[in-house]
Structure 1
Amino acid sequence: MTRITVLELPGRMASSAAITHDVLATANRVSLAAGRPAPFEVRTLACTGSRTRAPASGTDLVIVPGLGVDTEEALLARIAAPDCRRATHLLANAARAGASIAASCASTFLLAEAGLLDGRRATTTWWFAPLFRRRYPEVALLTDQIVVADWPVATGGAAMAQMDLMLAVVARFAGAGLAKACAGYLLLDDRRSQAPYMAITYLAGQDAKIAKAESWVRRNVARDFTVEELADAMALSPRTFARRVTATCGLSPIRFVRRIRIETARFLLETTKLPVEEVARRVGYADGSTLRRLMRSDGQRSPAAFRR
């Protein structure tokens, strides 16, 4: 049996905590119904300050539901608060004792503060990605991933990525078959990317030059142009432009342009009756097959799915 401690902080997202307990309870029920032992023993630990005790000895996994913050200022204030500083120490100590650690959304910052993500792959809430990169340069951040399971540490993306993270936990500690059964009982879809939900305008707006580049791409989206031409329009060298796009949006210049083209295509598919071939031409692609391939590879659905 895997012994799990759910570390719940004041101000946590109620939905994230509920999802954690619901998925683990479902895994136990499904397993018992099949005549097998329950795979998880779950404890809840409230982290409220200096009096908070450490996770029980023998804990195999500590899970941290998402923090309920939505701005950089609120997040920075939150992780500096005494209860979060205490949680950071608890996580570091639990990891040293051999426990695995999992967190999603803004709680991934606590793992990074504890040094648990240095030299590892991780993900986080997509709109906090620029702050995460600046603050934790030693972490290989994969912004568009919903879950990055780099065990013994696993991280999830924004808010409802806690569902995906919990299925990864079930698969890791109780088997892929049970994780699939839980997904079926709870009607959870197989989601692999945050990309369809990432607002490129929001990310680009954090750097004036990149915001200007985004506007330039949208004005020129129907024609073919090079990254060098785009960088020159911003009065930047291609190297400097690439560095700033990556720091701001977590994308290479080519993927930055592609994301804007696909976002524009999606809007046209959802709001007009233009044929897919015409939509492709209006966003700078020679034919509909290219648009279909790129939309799928970027974590989106097919053009036909948006049209429906």
Structure 2
Amino acid sequence: MRVALLLTEAVFDSGLSIVCDVLDTANALRGELHRPPPPWEITLVGFRRHHRTARGHHVRAEPPASVNPDVLVVPAVGAKDPTQLIALVEDPSLRRPTEFISHAAASGVVVAGACTGTFFLAEAGALNGRQATTSWWLGPAFRARYPLVDLDTRATLVHDANVATAGAAFAHIDLALWLVRCRSPALADLVARYLLIGDRASQAAFAMPSVLALHCPEMAAFERWVRDHLGESLCIGDAARAMGVSARTLQRRTMAAVGLSPLAFANEIRLDEASHLLRSTSLSTDAVAAAVGLCNASSLCQLVRRRRGSTLRVLRDGPAHAGIAVSDDDAAQMPM
């Protein structure tokens, strides 16, 4: 399989290296299979001979016209702010990379992107009418600019026809592993074991409501209202009246900004606060449930299962603690 990685200025260093490392590892482990797939041929391409990464490293690229790839991967760029990212994809100097993506997609080449790289796919029109994902914190900006894309920021990886998109920065791992899995599930499992790649089926557990609401004044106001009334039985009509809009308008604006209904977004805020209380206090689960406006621990458990596909124990530990060994002495000092 011929894989071309399209470079732009300020390409995200780890995104670029992750895709190369996963595919190089797959090539190195092919020999362990009875019937190995063909090797992956990796070429870095760009419209400049040398590209500067986000960390200032210089990377040599081949001219795009010199390759005939089966897959075109667009790694992330180092933009950390939605406004900066939009300005980047609108930059006239990047028109040729965008046109190259568009031509590749129209020619039947599989096009793939992760994190901020998904914006280049969307700008090229490759995602119109398709399901896709992007970094959870870029969801509002993505929806506003690309309304023709069916965006699901809960997903870590989405594959629709000849297009694949992956979520936040280290979802480059999932994207690269997916490329391996397309040719050999057995080899993908082997690579995952060697590189200690775990399962990240959803970004939902990592998303922060306050960040999602940051660039939309109406969503920021709604988030503040929910947090101010978190211990109460929430009424969306009351929130709308406090904001000076109708309930229908609030429904429309939350769907447009974050892809959730007002109640679903309020529940994300509840889970965010419940996670904080479970990890930072010794409150019982019933007390935590009451603090976020739920009837009891059972209601909280159901919400965690429905929105996170997980358990209260995982919510208390947090995603950053997965796989961390704890000594018996340390465990004895942990609040239960």
Q: Mark yes or no: TM-score above 0.5.
A: yes
1:136 paired residue number: 146
Alignment of 1:1-308 (within 5 A): 2-35=1-34, 36-48=36-48, 53-56=63-66, 58-172=68-182, 174-299=183-308, 301-308=310-317
Q: Secondary structure at the match of 2:198?
A: coil
Change (3 A) 1:26 1:293: farther
Change (3 A) 1:52 1:183: closer
Quote the Cα distance in structure 2 between the aligned partners of 1:246 and 1:75: 22
Shift of 1:207: 2.5
Q: Secondary structure at the match of 1:245?
A: helix
Shift of 1:55: 4.9
Q: Secondary structure at the match of 2:165?
A: strand
Q: Secondary structure at the match of 1:116?
A: coil
Quote the Cα distance in structure 1 between the aligned partners of 2:314 and 2:170: 22
Quote the Cα distance in structure 2 between the aligned partners of 1:197 and 1:48: 36
Quote the Cα distance in structure 1 between the aligned partners of 2:295 and 2:264: 18
CA contact (8 A) 1:196 1:300 kept: no
Quote the Cα distance in structure 1 between the aligned partners of 2:137 and 2:13: 20
Letter aligned with residue 83 of structure 2: E
Letter aligned with residue 193 of structure 2: G
Shift of 1:293: 2.5
Shift of 1:37: 4.4
Between 1:249-258 and 1:265-274, the stretch displaced more is 249-258
Quote the Cα distance in structure 1 between the aligned partners of 2:242 and 2:28: 60
Identical-residue share of aligned pairs (%)? 37
Shift of 1:151: 2.7
Q: Secondary structure at the match of 1:298?
A: helix
Letter aligned with residue 166 of structure 1: A
- Render the CA deviation track for 1:31-69: whole Å, top value 9, x for unaligned: 2222424442222213328x9733545421011111110
Q: Secondary structure at the match of 2:240?
A: helix
Unaligned runs of 5+ in 2: 50-60, 318-336
Letter aligned with residue 297 of structure 2: G
- Render the CA deviation track for 1:170-208: whole Å, top value 9, x for unaligned: 222x13332222211111111112222222112223232
Quote the Cα distance in structure 1 between the aligned partners of 2:227 and 2:279: 18
- Report how many aligned residue pairs link the two structures: 305
Quote the Cα distance in structure 2 between the aligned partners of 1:98 and 1:284: 51
Q: Secondary structure at the match of 1:160?
A: helix
Shift of 1:90: 1.0
Quote the Cα distance in structure 1 between the aligned partners of 2:87 and 2:223: 30
Shift of 1:292: 1.8
Letter aligned with residue 15 of structure 1: S
- Render the CA deviation track for 1:138-160: whole Å, top value 9, x for unaligned: 11111222111113001111111
Tell me which stretches of 4 or more aligned residues in structure 1 moved more than 6 Å.
none
CA contact (8 A) 2:44 2:62 kept: no
CA contact (8 A) 1:195 1:300 kept: no
Quote the Cα distance in structure 1 between the aligned partners of 2:62 and 2:187: 33
Shift of 1:280: 1.2
Between 1:293-302 and 1:23-32, the stretch displaced more is 293-302
Shift of 1:301: 4.2
- Render the CA deviation track for 1:204-250: whole Å, top value 9, x for unaligned: 23232321221111121122122223222222111100111122222
Quote the Cα distance in structure 1 between the aligned partners of 2:310 and 2:65: 42
Q: Secondary structure at the match of 2:21?
A: helix
RMSD: 2.0
Quote the Cα distance in structure 1 between the aligned partners of 2:189 and 2:240: 46
Quote the Cα distance in structure 1 between the aligned partners of 2:96 and 2:238: 50
Quote the Cα distance in structure 2 between the aligned partners of 1:92 and 1:46: 15
Shift of 1:291: 1.2
CA contact (8 A) 2:210 2:220 kept: yes
Q: Secondary structure at the match of 2:43?
A: strand
Letter aligned with residue 79 of structure 2: V
